[in-house]
Structures are given as structure tokens and as C-alpha cells.
């Protein structure tokens, strides 16, 4: 064996380590998550302003549960009157209301009148 083809112990160790690591991939990442999940929205009840028509008014409340369900709803307007009205709100309208956008709807015609319900 000639001296030209021999490896020193150090060269052998380095070459062996490089051969073992040849098929290994190393991933380095930061301490935190680069894409943290978006926080879940917090919903609260919203009370709409109901117009006073026929000398009375009603109450219209969208509950936090109705907002978080994400479905279209039909609200029953309540109050001291002996009759009720309803207002239909689409999922898109609920999204607008929860974002603070003003939405106005006209109630059903009961007892020969309607009410305008405004959510801000």
C-alpha cells in the first residue's frame, strides 16, 4: 500500500461522518410558530333599535350563540304588545352586524303595521 492512498485517523473520521450525514436533512426552525392560528372571534349579544310605530315598540336581540352558529336566523320581536313581529337576517347580514356595520330590516306586518329594526 502506498502512502498516497492512506488516510489519517482525523481524515477517516471526517470522511465517515460526512458519509453518514449524506442522506440526512436538517431543519432549523424558530422558537415560535411562524403562522399562529387566528384568534376565535368573541361574540356578544346585540340589541337592535326598533322603531316606535302604532304607539308601541318591541325588542330585538341577537344572542352571542346565534352569531357564533353562523346561520341565517329569524328573530321574534318581543315586548309588551299582545302581538309579535319577526325579522329575517341572513348569515351575511349577521356577519356585517357583528363587524359593526349598520343593517336595517323591516319586520313582518302584524296587527296592520311594521317596525324598522336597526343594528349598528
Per-residue pLDDT of the chain (120 residues; tens, 9 = 90+): 556 678 788 888 888 887 777 776 766 666 665 677 777 778 889 989 888 888 888 989 999 999 888 899 999 998 877 888 999 999 999 999 988 999 999 999 998 999 999 998
Nearest to 8 by CA among 16, 67, 56: 16
Model confidence pTM above 0.75: no
* Torsions phi, psi for 71 (to 5 deg): -115, 160
Enumerate the domain spans of the chain.
46-119
Q: Which residue has the cell 329594526?
A: 117
Tell me what pLDDT residue 30 has: 63
Residue 46 half-sphere exposure toward CB, CA atoms < 13 A:
24
Q: Distance (Å, rounded) from C-alpha 89 to C-alpha 49?
A: 15
Amino acid at each position: 500500500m502506498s502512502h498516497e492512498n492512506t488516510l489519517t485517523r482525523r481524515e477517516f473520521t471526517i470522511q465517515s461522518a460526512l458519509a453518514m450525514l449524506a442522506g440526512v436533512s436538517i431543519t432549523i426552525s424558530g422558537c415560535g410558530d411562524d403562522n399562529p392560528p387566528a384568534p376565535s372571534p368573541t361574540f356578544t349579544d346585540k340589541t337592535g333599535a326598533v322603531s316606535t310605530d302604532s304607539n308601541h315598540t318591541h325588542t330585538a336581540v341577537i344572542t352571542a350563540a346565534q352569531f357564533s352558529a353562523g346561520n341565517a336566523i329569524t328573530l321574534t320581536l318581543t315586548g309588551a304588545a299582545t302581538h309579535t313581529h319577526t325579522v329575517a337576517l341572513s348569515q351575511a347580514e349577521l356577519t356585517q352586524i357583528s363587524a359593526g356595520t349598520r343593517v336595517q330590516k323591516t319586520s313582518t306586518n302584524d296587527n296592520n303595521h311594521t317596525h324598522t329594526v336597526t343594528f349598528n
